[in-house]
């Protein structure tokens, strides 16, 4: 026969030329596999496991949060003298901005006690704002002239500003000083920024230049003799906040504050939050292993843990009260017209 | 063969009027499609060589692109997709100041996706290119001039060149056969590459050129060939050759087609007629119609929907942004002074707030592009290719006997396989083997043959209501128990005839031995098979055009009429001389072959036997044969008709054999006319030939009838039963007689005993009466009315039985009725009736009707259809259906070439649909849903963040985090799901075919499910965003009192998103192999690793992600506790919902999973 009738009698030839697919568990899609299904046992135990993990974490978080002592003092309204009705005019005026506040320590605060300022309704995450900086210039002394992206705070009369941009320009400039029983409580302002920022983002040989010399003065001024890497207030400020309400670290108080102590705060209320009706708060807080005071996480863990337990019970009840023969093949009979409709 | 010599100019002048100038004539002919002029053996400096130059050269190009067009063309192809175009626009916009992120980070993922697709296209094209180069550079011997023959590359051949082809070489172009190593210029050709047929075809050159069979003789050969223009019809060729002042007609018989192979012939000489892209085989290679699956079409809608969502939120954001920005500056008073609204750019300027809002809108469109999964199209293509590989690799769809695995020719339609509602199947070769066995015959009114057919067994077993036995009873078994008296060593392929009255020469003792002799002589002579004699054993085998034909010749051989030699115009056989009992040789001179075609339904040969009698031997279908019998030739008509009816009932294919003696005069008259028509070059040549043939094939004398069995393929009944259980409707469209079709229907369990049959046909007395009067209009009118009435009655019957019983109905309709049923005003009624029946059989249907029925079902029901067939007559329906499946069997490759998926046996359809189809459907729908889920989760967190950033367009995440989300951290598990996921194993898929209905009803890709997944995405995004912001909040992030900035919150949220979508994936995956583990946990690990590596790069590159993980996040317990909390609690809604669904409203696959689980628990055996 002249045709290519597939090499009929010679198995060796046949084997060599064959198009037979090779057998392997992979190609035949028979790989060993775990096929989890939502059995009552699995579901209920999954929920119970979640409960078992979440409740302790929730309790621990809540304890940690409760251990933290926090004093919050909102002062932007109170620090405007009552004879000034127009707060904005006040803050923009040259009047004395000194303001005295008293903080009462309700609970013993172990050092270190962190001092924060908290701003509200301040959009540090606005795209125009976030982009208005030049990282090159901050890092590298030789790049002092690169101010791209910094407009309109890039230069004054053609002389570049260092650090340029809206962020630096609008830096927070309220200052706080604390005293207890007429003894000054020192605020340590070292180490309030991230080390990587100090070491790699802000140059140790970059000095502020031509800063806050424009027609409109923004926020704080900078000491032109101190390199940027040591201007930790600036570094903290330049790490923009995620949300319009944020706290930033101001400094650390490295003595314990006892219960009943009255802390006298002398603050310079310089920063204009009145234009955009933002609040200002002074916060003193200790920390735990979990950071500052925030009950949300603990409560959330407990709630979800509780919810899981509730669901576990609910599913258990459903299972015991109304057990269903789910594996009944009659549901799958092709004669049943109703099935699967 | 005699040649009637006609001058072609006469024909032309008859057709087109007298033309004085050749060129004008040429242009005139051009309009008619017969304009090609080939100057054979003209060398290039010849005076009319400009004509030659007009024709394409012989190089072929099958590539989609050239080097120059690759980039523009493939890019164009890609950006035609709306989503890709959107990403391109976004990418371009990213270079402007509008961009909320850096341009590189935006354009890179697009480049990766586009690049990957282009690489894929490029590799595919390169493969084609390589093949082209190989083909174009094959060597061929051609006449260089002055009698010198030299080797040259195929691509250098020009029209008119003379080439020499040696044995087993391919023809480099379409050639005119001039001469061969045989004296009569015949040669054998294998056309497997063209039509897949493995039998050899006989070609023959003209007598006048047959002597040019040596190189030197071709030195001075000159001829002009005028012929049809290039076209795709493989089986026609119209032309003439002017040689030595004479014109000779040319036919396909002289045309050697490119890509076919010279066999059994030492060499041939040929003149190049069509080159390169003009050749018939390349003209024929049209791209199959591109089909897209329903899921993909729906996916486009989802993408549009998401675009809508995207535009909406961008619009809302822009309005709010405009209002907020406007407020920043009021009468020169700056509200948010730190933004310097007094000295702003256009993008944030309160003074030009409308422009700012419009720009913001563009920015927002860019920012929210994460709603649209950029890698979706690419992932889908990748997944589909991998799925097809699995289909191709499936060992359970590999057919050992023919060495043929399944072949997914397009990967576009994998998931469509899971949604088939109706299967339209061919019968012959698809349900049956198409290996014919001569099983019975009726000669001179006596029925011979005692073998019981499969159908008879099936009917017997059904009526006994015994349990279904495996119907494929081995042929060996059957022959053994009925052939004790015979000494047969082995079964003979194509022959399963047992009757001792005929066998072993016993036929001479039968009362009508003369008729029997004529009967088998006819079988041995009236065919176009080619014998091959094995030199060692002397055994003769045959190469026939169809298995039926082979079966006849074999039958004749087995009975003792051995056909062993065929020459150009004679045929020799050995037969038993009933008088002497010796074997004698007989040679018949073949005068004409009137070929078989589907409209004629018969073939005849006109031969002259040794006694000088001229005989017309004819075999054909009963419907055309009985009316052609002479009055004195109807001696056995009644008996034969009875037998034919019985054979049809037994599922056999019958042919009627008849002959007639022609007298010299009648023959000569026919011969003259026939040759004249044959030599003409007109369009209606075919019909003229038919008319002439019709005239001479009359007044026949009936000899008897043959019955061959077309055996059912292995496993067909079981497969059909499974498919029926999967509630797939099966329609059989066959060309067979109604009785045969019904019986095959029974044997393959398409019809069951107790099913009510609704039969629509036109064999009613009224019409038969009209037919006698040949009043065509009246027939049509009555027929139409009758069909309409029958359909209405059927509908009534169905409606009446509705609700009362579970009775199933079957609809059987014949081709004639189908003509009317498919008319516009009736077809919907017909379709309605048909869809309500469990099985539908259309018999006597033509290829066109098959395609029409397919279209009717496809468009009428809107459901997915699958057509399966094996032959050229199924091509229409295969291309028309949503999914075309070709059986790569015996009948050639045309069906396979036009199909989407090729399988070797019908029974593999079960696995292809129930297993692969279901899996692919499930995978694809889950994968697409999941793609949208993960991108909505991500995109919506960005939007929520915007709400808290006064819609300024500031993304929460680092630029590179943004751009790598789709590509790196979330796609792998989804792709793994798309390739590997299995809800239930293959075994259970086949055990519970009802599972397939999930795809047919499209429950896994319903809008409900898609929107649920999207909703789930929104819920996840909301949970992630609020839990993260609340949990981190204002407070110190760690023990050292530092608070979290934008970078840290962003990274934490991103981490939560990555965890949530990947864990969600882990919950959704039902088949957890090592690959899933690697993909899911690997993605999460990769993200953390990326954060580490990226953060370690110099801060100029990593910007606000610099050391964010190492320094700030990782050491802080807050980060981990928040991540754990968010990841787990975001999944609780989904987990609870799916539990409730699984317990209270389980779907089919969930029930099966339960069963598997429970049975495993009971038996405690590992699966």
Give the pLDDT band of residue B78 (cuts 50, 70, 90): confident
CB proximity B1137 to A under 8 Å: no
> Residues B761, B816: contact at Cβ < 8 Å?
yes
Average pLDDT over residues A140-164: 82
B736 is catalytic: no
A328 inside domain: no
Q: How many domains does chain A have?
A: 2
Smallest Cβ–Cβ distance between B1043 and the set A247, A297, A334 belongs to A247
> Residues B927, B1062: contact at Cβ < 8 Å?
no
CB proximity B513 to A under 8 Å: no
Taking the alpha carbons of B434, B436, B442, B444 in that order, is the dihedral positive or negative?
positive
Give residues 49 to 88 of A whose Cβ lies within 8 Å of B.
Answer: 50, 54, 57, 61
A30 inside domain: no
Report the 10 Å Cβ neighbour count for B66.
11
Chain A hits for B360, CB-CB cut-off 8 Å, are none
Same domain, A207 and A300: no
Distances (CA, A) of B53 to B38, B43, B56, B225, B250: 11, 12, 8, 16, 23
State which residues form the domain around A215.
69-286
Catalytic residue among B278, B426, B622, B870: B426
A203 inside domain: yes
Residue that finishes a domain, picked among A237, A263, A286:
A286
Question: Do the chains contact at B1045 and A43, CB–CB below 8 Å?
Answer: no
Give the pLDDT band of residue B1166 (cuts 50, 70, 90): very low
Residue B687 token pair: 């019909």
Same domain, A266 and A123: yes
Same domain, A58 and A76: no
Give the highest mean pLDDT range of B431-440, B456-465, B1019-1028. Answer: B1019-1028
Same domain, A239 and A98: yes
Q: CA angle A278-A280-A281, nearest 5°?
A: 145
Same domain, A122 and A59: no
What share of chain A has pLDDT > 70, as a percent?
89
Give the pLDDT band of residue B938 (cuts 50, 70, 90): very high
Q: DSSP character for A109?
A: B
Give residues 264 to 323 of A whose Cβ lies within 8 Å of B.
Answer: 272, 275-276, 285, 287-294, 296-297, 300-301, 304, 307-308, 311, 315, 318-319
Kind of pairing between the strands at B901-903 and B883-887: parallel
Same domain, A181 and A49: no
The set of residues, in sequence order, having a beta carbon less than 8 Å from that of B492 and lying 6+ positions away, is B554, B558
pLDDT of B213 reads 79
CA distance linking residue A226 with residue A120, whole number of Å: 30
A32 inside domain: no
A314 inside domain: yes
Q: Model ipTM? A: 0.92
Chain A hits for B1152, CB-CB cut-off 8 Å, are 332
- Size of chain B in residues: 1167
pLDDT of A8 reads 38
Distances (CA, A) of B785 to B763, B791, B797: 14, 10, 18
pLDDT of B246 reads 81
Residue B255's DSSP bridge partners are: B176
> Residues B338, A166: contact at Cβ < 8 Å?
yes
CA distance linking residue B927 with residue B983, whole number of Å: 13
Same domain, A116 and A234: yes
> Residues A101, A265: contact at Cβ < 8 Å?
yes
A81: distance to nearest CA of chain B, Å?
A: 21
CA distance linking residue B1155 with residue A327, whole number of Å: 4
Give the pLDDT band of residue B1062 (cuts 50, 70, 90): very high
State CA B246 to chain mean position distance. Answer: 47
pLDDT of B31 reads 45
Average pLDDT over residues B1109-1136: 90
Residue B324 CA neighbour count, 13 Å, CB half: 22
Kind of pairing between the strands at B883-887 and B864-869: parallel
Question: Residue B427 above 90 pLDDT?
Answer: no
Question: Residue B724 above 70 pLDDT?
Answer: yes
> Residues B980, A29: contact at Cβ < 8 Å?
yes
Give the pLDDT band of residue B431 (cuts 50, 70, 90): confident
Give residues 800 to 839 of B whose Cβ lies within 8 Å of A.
Answer: 806
Same domain, A44 and A79: no
Question: Residue B49 above 90 pLDDT?
Answer: no
Question: Do the chains contact at A326 and B1154, CB–CB below 8 Å?
Answer: yes
CB proximity B1036 to A under 8 Å: yes
A275 inside domain: yes
Q: In whole numbers, what is the pLDDT of chain B averaged over residues?
A: 81
Same domain, A213 and A198: yes
List the beta strands (DSSP E) in B828-896: 839-843, 864-869, 883-887
Element at B433 (helix H, strand E): strand B432-443
pLDDT of B483 reads 39
> Residues B161, B271: contact at Cβ < 8 Å?
yes
CA distance linking residue B866 with residue B999, whole number of Å: 14
pLDDT of B880 reads 85
Give the pLDDT band of residue B751 (cuts 50, 70, 90): confident
For residue range B318-357, list pLDDT tens digits in order: 999 999 888 888 877 888 888 888 888 888 888 888 988 9
Instruction: Kindly identify which residue of chain B lies nearest to residue A273, measuring between CA atoms.
Output: B336
Average pLDDT over residues B614-623: 87
Nearest Cα neighbor of A340 from B1000, B625, B527 is B1000
Nearest Cα neighbor of B545 from B196, B225, B948 is B196
A279 inside domain: yes
CB proximity B1154 to A under 8 Å: yes
The set of residues, in sequence order, having a beta carbon less than 8 Å from that of B861 and lying 6+ positions away, is B421, B422, B831, B835
Smallest Cβ–Cβ distance between A340 and the set B950, B954, B997 belongs to B997
Give the pLDDT band of residue B891 (cuts 50, 70, 90): low
Query: What is the Cα Rg of chain B in Å?
Result: 37
CB proximity B750 to A under 8 Å: no
pLDDT of A196 reads 87
Chain A hits for B727, CB-CB cut-off 8 Å, are 334
> Residues B109, B374: contact at Cβ < 8 Å?
yes
Q: CA angle B753-B756-B760, nearest 5°?
A: 125
A20 inside domain: no
Smallest Cβ–Cβ distance between B994 and the set A218, A247, A340 belongs to A340
Instruction: Kindly identify which residue of chain B lies nearest to residue A47, measuring between CA atoms.
Output: B1132
Q: Which of B101, B321, B324, B340 to mutate to test the interface with A (most CBs of A within 10 A)?
A: B340
Smallest Cβ–Cβ distance between B1034 and the set A118, A129, A218 belongs to A118
Residue B98 token pair: 């509008």
Same domain, A175 and A196: yes
For residue range B327-338, list pLDDT tens digits in order: 888 877 888 888
Nearest Cα neighbor of B442 from B717, B658, B735, B191 is B658
Kind of pairing between the strands at B602-608 and B583-594: antiparallel
Question: Residue B745 above 70 pLDDT?
Answer: yes
Residue B818 CA neighbour count, 13 Å, CB half: 26
Residue B892 token pair: 């050639």
Report the 10 Å Cβ neighbour count for B112.
18
Smallest Cβ–Cβ distance between B725 and the set A122, A248, A334 belongs to A334
For residue range B354-404, list pLDDT tens digits in order: 988 999 998 888 888 888 888 888 888 889 888 988 998 888 888 888 788
Nearest Cα neighbor of B393 from A287, A26, A321 is A26
For residue range A267-302, list pLDDT tens digits in order: 988 888 888 888 999 999 999 888 888 899 999 999
Same domain, A222 and A304: no
Question: Do the chains contact at B1118 and A307, CB–CB below 8 Å?
Answer: no
CA distance linking residue B600 with residue B597, whole number of Å: 5
Report the 10 Å Cβ neighbour count for B724.
19
CA distance linking residue B900 with residue B898, whole number of Å: 7
Same domain, A102 and A222: yes
CA distance linking residue B383 with residue B361, whole number of Å: 35
For residue range A19-52, list pLDDT tens digits in order: 788 888 888 888 888 888 888 888 999 999 999 9
Question: Residue B1026 above 90 pLDDT?
Answer: yes
What share of chain B has pLDDT > 70, as a percent?
88
pLDDT of B169 reads 85
A207: distance to nearest CA of chain B, Å?
A: 19
Taking the alpha carbons of B546, B547, B550, B551 in that order, is the dihedral positive or negative?
negative
> Residues B119, B21: contact at Cβ < 8 Å?
no
């Amino acid at each position: 026969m002249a045709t290519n009738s597939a090499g009929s009698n010679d198995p060796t030839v046949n084997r060599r030329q064959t198009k037979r697919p090779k057998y392997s568990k992979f190609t035949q899609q028979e790989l060993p596999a775990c096929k989890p299904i939502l059995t009552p046992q699995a579901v209920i135990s999954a929920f119970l496991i979640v409960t078992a993990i979440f409740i302790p974490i929730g309790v621990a978080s809540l304890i940690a949060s409760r251990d933290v002592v926090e004093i919050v003092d909102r002062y932007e309204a109170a620090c405007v003298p009552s004879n000034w009705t127009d707060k904005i005019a006040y803050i923009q005026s040259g009047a004395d901005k000194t303001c005295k506040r008293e903080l009462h320590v309700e609970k013993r605060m172990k050092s270190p006690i962190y001092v924060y300022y908290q701003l509200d309704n301040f959009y540090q995450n606005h795209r125009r704002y976030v982009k208005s900086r030049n990282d090159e210039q901050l890092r590298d002394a030789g790049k002092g002239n690169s101010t791209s992206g910094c407009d309109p705070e890039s230069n004054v009369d053609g002389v570049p500003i260092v650090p340029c941009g809206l962020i630096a320009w609008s830096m927070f400039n309220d200052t706080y000083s604390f005293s207890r029983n007429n003894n000054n409580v020192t605020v340590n302002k070292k180490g309030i920024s991230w080390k990587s920022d100090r070491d790699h983002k802000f140059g140790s040989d970059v000095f502020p230049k031509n800063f806050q010399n424009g027609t409109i003065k923004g926020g704080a001024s900078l000491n032109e003799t101190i390199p940027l890497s040591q201007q930790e207030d600036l570094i903290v400020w330049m790490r923009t906040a995620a949300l319009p309400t944020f706290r930033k670290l101001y400094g650390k108080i490295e003595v314990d504050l006892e219960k009943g102590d009255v802390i006298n705060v002398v603050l310079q209320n310089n920063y204009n939050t009145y234009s955009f009706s933002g609040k200002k708060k002074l916060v003193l807080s200790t920390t735990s292993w979990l950071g500052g005071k925030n009950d949300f996480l603990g409560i959330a863990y407990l709630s979800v843990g509780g919810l899981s337990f509730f669901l576990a019970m609910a599913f258990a009840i459903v299972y015991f009260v109304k057990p269903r023969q789910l594996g009944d093949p009659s549901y799958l009979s092709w004669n049943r017209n109703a099935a699967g409709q | 063969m005699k040649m009637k010599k006609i001058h072609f100019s006469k024909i032309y002048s008859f057709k087109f009027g007298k033309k004085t100038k050749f060129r004008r004539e040429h242009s005139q002919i051009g309009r008619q499609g017969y304009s090609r002029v080939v100057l054979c053996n003209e060398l290039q400096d010849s005076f009319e060589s400009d004509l030659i130059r007009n024709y394409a050269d012989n190089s072929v190009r099958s590539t989609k692109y050239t080097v120059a067009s690759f980039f523009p063309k493939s890019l164009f192809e890609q950006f035609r997709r709306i989503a890709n175009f959107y990403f391109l626009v976004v990418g371009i916009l990213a270079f402007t100041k509008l961009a909320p992120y850096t341009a590189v980070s935006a354009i890179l993922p697009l480049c990766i996706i586009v690049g990957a697709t282009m690489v894929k296209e490029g590799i595919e094209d390169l493969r084609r290119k390589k093949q082209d180069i190989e083909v174009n550079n094959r060597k061929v011997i051609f006449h260089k001039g002055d009698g010198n023959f030299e080797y040259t590359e195929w691509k250098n051949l020009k029209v008119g060149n003379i080439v020499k082809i040696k044995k087993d070489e391919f023809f480099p172009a379409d050639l005119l056969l001039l001469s061969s190593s045989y004296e009569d210029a015949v040669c054998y050709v294998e056309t497997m590459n063209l039509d897949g047929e493995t039998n050899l075809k006989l070609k023959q050159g003209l007598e006048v050129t047959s002597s040019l069979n040596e190189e030197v003789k071709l030195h001075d050969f000159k001829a002009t060939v005028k012929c049809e223009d290039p076209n795709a019809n493989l089986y026609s060729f119209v032309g003439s050759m002017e040689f030595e002042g004479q014109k000779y007609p040319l036919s396909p018989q002289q045309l050697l087609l490119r890509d076919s192979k010279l066999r059994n012939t030492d060499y041939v000489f040929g003149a190049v007629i069509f080159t390169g892209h003009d050749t018939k085989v390349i003209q024929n290679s049209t791209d199959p119609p591109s089909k897209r699956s329903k899921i993909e079409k729906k996916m486009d809608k989802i993408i549009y929907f998401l675009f809508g969502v995207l535009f909406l939120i961008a619009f809302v954001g822009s309005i709010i942004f405009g209002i907020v920005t406007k407020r920043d500056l009021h009468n020169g008073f700056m509200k948010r002074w730190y933004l310097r609204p007094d000295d702003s750019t256009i993008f944030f300027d309160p003074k030009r707030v409308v422009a700012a809002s419009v720009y913001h809108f563009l920015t927002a469109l860019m920012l929210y592009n994460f709603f649209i999964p950029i890698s979706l199209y690419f992932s889908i293509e990748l997944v589909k290719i991998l799925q097809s590989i699995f289909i191709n690799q499936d060992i359970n769809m590999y057919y050992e006997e023919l060495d043929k695995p399944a072949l997914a020719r397009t990967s576009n339609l994998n998931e469509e396989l899971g949604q088939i509602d109706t299967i339209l199947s061919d019968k012959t070769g698809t349900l049956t083997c198409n290996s014919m066995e001569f099983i019975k015959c009726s000669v001179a009114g006596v029925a011979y043959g005692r073998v019981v057919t499969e159908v008879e067994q099936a009917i017997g077993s059904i009526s006994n209501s015994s349990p279904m036995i495996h119907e494929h009873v081995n042929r060996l078994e059957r022959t053994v128990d009925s052939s004790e008296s015979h000494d047969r060593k082995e079964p003979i392929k194509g022959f399963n005839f047992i009757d001792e009255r005929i066998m072993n020469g016993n036929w001479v003792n039968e009362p009508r031995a003369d008729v029997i002799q004529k009967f088998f002589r006819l079988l041995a002579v009236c065919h176009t098979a080619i014998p091959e004699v094995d030199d060692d054993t002397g055994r003769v085998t045959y190469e026939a055009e169809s298995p039926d034909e082979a079966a006849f010749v074999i039958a004749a051989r087995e009975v003792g009429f051995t056909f062993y030699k065929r020459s150009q115009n004679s045929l020799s056989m050995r037969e038993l001389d009933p008088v002497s009992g010796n074997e004698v040789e007989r040679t018949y001179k073949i005068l004409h072959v009137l070929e078989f075609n589907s409209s004629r339904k018969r073939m005849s040969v006109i031969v002259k036997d040794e006694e000088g009698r001229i005989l017309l031997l004819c075999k054909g279908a009963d419907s055309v044969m009985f009316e052609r019998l002479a009055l004195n030739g109807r001696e056995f008509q009644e008996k034969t008709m009875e037998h034919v009816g019985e054979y049809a009932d037994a599922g056999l294919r019958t042919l009627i054999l008849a002959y007639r003696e022609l007298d010299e005069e009648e023959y000569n008259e026919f011969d003259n006319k026939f040759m004249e028509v044959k030599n003409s070059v007109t369009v209606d040549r075919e019909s003229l030939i038919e008319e002439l043939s019709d005239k001479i094939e009359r007044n026949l004398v009936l000899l008897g009838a043959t019955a061959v069995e077309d055996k059912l393929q292995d496993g067909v009944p079981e497969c059909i039963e499974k498919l029926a259980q999967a509630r797939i409707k099966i329609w059989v469209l066959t060309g067979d007689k109604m009785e045969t079709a019904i019986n095959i229907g029974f044997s393959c369990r398409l019809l069951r005993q107790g099913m009510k049959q609704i039969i629509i046909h036109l064999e009613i007395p009224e019409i038969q009466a009209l037919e006698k009067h040949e009043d065509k209009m009246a027939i049509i009118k009555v027929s139409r009315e009758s069909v309409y009435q029958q359909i209405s009655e059927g509908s009534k019957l169905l409606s009446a039985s509705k609700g009362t019983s579970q009775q199933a109905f079957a609809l059987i309709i014949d081709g004639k009725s189908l003509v009317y049923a498919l008319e516009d005003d009736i077809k919907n009624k017909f379709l309605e009736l048909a869809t309500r029946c469990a099985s539908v059989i259309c018999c006597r249907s033509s290829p066109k009707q098959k395609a029409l029925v397919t279209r009717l079902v496809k468009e009428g029901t809107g459901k997915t259809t699958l057509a399966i067939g094996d032959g050229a007559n199924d091509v229409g329906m295969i291309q028309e259906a949503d999914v075309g499946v070709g059986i790569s069997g015996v009948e050639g490759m045309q069906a396979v070439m036009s199909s989407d998926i090729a399988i070797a046996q019908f029974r593999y359809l079960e696995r292809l649909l129930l297993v692969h189809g279901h899996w692919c459907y499930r995978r694809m729908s889950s994968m697409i849903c999941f793609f949208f889920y993960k991108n909505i989760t991500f995109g919506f967190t960005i939007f929520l963040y915007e709400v808290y950033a006064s819609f300024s367009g500031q993304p929460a995440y680092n630029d590179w985090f943004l751009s790598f989300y789709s590509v790196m951290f979330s796609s792998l598990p989804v792709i793994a799901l798309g390739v590997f996921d299995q809800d239930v194993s293959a075994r259970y898929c086949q055990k519970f075919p009802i599972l397939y209905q999930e795809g047919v009803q499209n429950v896994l890709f319903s809008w409900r499910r898609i929107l649920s997944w999207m909703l789930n995405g929104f819920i996840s995004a909301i949970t992630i965003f609020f839990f993260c912001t609340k949990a981190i909040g204002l407070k110190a992030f760690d023990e050292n009192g530092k608070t979290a900035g934008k970078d840290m919150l962003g990274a934490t949220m991103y981490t939560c998103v990555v965890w949530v979508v990947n864990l969600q994936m882990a919950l959704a995956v039902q088949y957890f192999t090592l690959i899933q583990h690697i993909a899911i946990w690997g993605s999460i690990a990769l993200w953390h690793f990326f954060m580490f590596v990226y953060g370690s790069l110099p801060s100029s590159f990593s910007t606000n992600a610099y050391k964010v993980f190492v320094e700030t996040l990782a050491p802080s317990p807050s980060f981990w506790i928040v991540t754990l909390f968010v990841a787990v609690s975001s999944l609780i809604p989904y987990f609870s919902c799916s539990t409730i669904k699984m317990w209270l409203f389980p779907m089919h696959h969930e029930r099966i999973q339960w069963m598997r689980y429970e049975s495993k628990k009971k038996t405690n055996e590992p699966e």
